[in-house]
Structure 1
Amino acid sequence: MKLYIIRHGIAAEKTEYKNDEERPLIEKGRQKTEQVAQCLKDIGIHFDLILTSPLVRAKQTAEILQKNGLSDQLENFSALAPDGDIQEWVNWWLESRYNLDKSCLALVGHEPDLGHWTEILIWGQPQDKLILKKSGVIGLELPVGINPISKSHLFLLTSPKWLINEKLE
């Protein structure tokens, strides 16, 4: 099973909003996320489901992915909010109909959590080594039917700039 982990796009500054949960994407963040979505579509990626943090900037990022034809289904998933628990997602995945060889899922959320989740899925614990840029993408291959913690394989770690530049060349 393929899992794509995607960080939200560039958002408004924290100082501009009283409540961090309400910070939206700025225009540059929308544009870059649109470009990344188009690049993913161009290389044939389609998600069976996009799970997103309930925070505005992550939801907007997920909606851009969906609008660009990357998935027909999008759902909020509270564990993707900052400081969310990966075990909640693992339990969901193990019990879901998406725990299949041919499934392709996307998780949209925040740093440093997404980097930590990736490290846990690969190495079993956070290492503070992987950093996902805004609108960046990580691709993991997860084993089917078993707990994926420390059993997953990294196949993609890219910044949006690399994805966009590769498409143009």
Structure 2
Amino acid sequence: MEIYIMRHGDAVDRMDPAMKTDEMRPLTPLGQEEVAGMARVLERLGVKPDVILTSPLVRARQTADIVAAELHAGRPAISDELAPGGTMTGVLNDILAAGPPKQVLLSGHMPGVGMLVGYLVWSNSDIIVPFRTAAICRVDLPDEAPFPGAGDLRWLLPPRTASRLVRR
């Protein structure tokens, strides 16, 4: 199973007076552009997720919606486990409950997405892999044993590097 873990794109600053709650912060125009660019990279790589799971927060949902539209994938489903405070076990359970799918894309937040990589690859969510906004990583889990620590970290791609790949 291929798991594509994505941090949401650049979002409106939490100190912006128009933002009443952190949960409501939308993507900025730059964030929308970053996410669309990353989705084009995924398309070039032949990624077509069977399932897209997203945090319920606005910026993560917008990220998932942009990726789904660019990849002509199904409608993203909400996973409360991808919101801040969610559990790594809960995320893995949500993935497995979805099929398990051949390819799944997750849209979430730091430090949760970084902790998830640590959990899937090293069975240790104290290992937090850093993600820039709109960065994506791929972790492969064996279909016959999709448990913490069984993951293989294939790559981690920040938007700046990805944009160079798309231009080639």
Q: Which moved more, 1:115-124 or 1:64-73?
A: 64-73
Q: Is the 8 A contact 2:140 2:153 kept in 1?
A: yes
Instruction: Report SS of the residue matched to 2:148.
Output: coil
Distance 2:26 2:43 in 1: 24
Distance 2:128 2:82 in 1: 20
Tell me which amino acid in the other structure corresponds to 1:53: S
* 1:94-113 matches, cutoff 5 A: 94-99=96-101, 103-113=102-112
Tell me which amino acid in the other structure corresponds to 2:10: I
Q: Is the 8 A contact 2:40 2:166 kept in 1?
A: no
Distance 2:98 2:34 in 1: 31
Tell me which amino acid in the other structure corresponds to 2:5: I
Is 1:48–2:50 an aligned residue pair?
Answer: yes
CA spacing shift, 1:128–1:97, aligned 2, 3 Å = closer
Tell me which amino acid in the other structure corresponds to 2:116: W
In the alignment, what sits opposite 2:24? 22
Q: Is the 8 A contact 2:39 2:70 kept in 1?
A: yes
In the alignment, what sits opposite 1:72? 74
Q: Is the 8 A contact 2:4 2:139 kept in 1?
A: yes
Question: RMSD over aligned Cα, in angstroms?
Answer: 1.4
Identity %: 30
Distance 1:65 1:94 in 2: 21
In the alignment, what sits opposite 1:86? 88
Q: Which moved more, 1:70-79 or 1:3-12?
A: 70-79
Structure 1 unaligned blocks of 5 or more: none
Distance 2:35 2:98 in 1: 28
In the TM superposition, residue 70 of structure 1 has moved relative to its aligned partner by: 4.7
Instruction: Report SS of the residue matched to 2:15.
Output: helix
Instruction: Report SS of the residue matched to 1:68.
Output: helix
In the alignment, what sits opposite 2:12? 12
Structure 2 unaligned blocks of 5 or more: none
Q: Is the 8 A contact 1:50 1:73 kept in 2?
A: yes
In the alignment, what sits opposite 1:61? 63
Tell me which amino acid in the other structure corresponds to 1:13: D
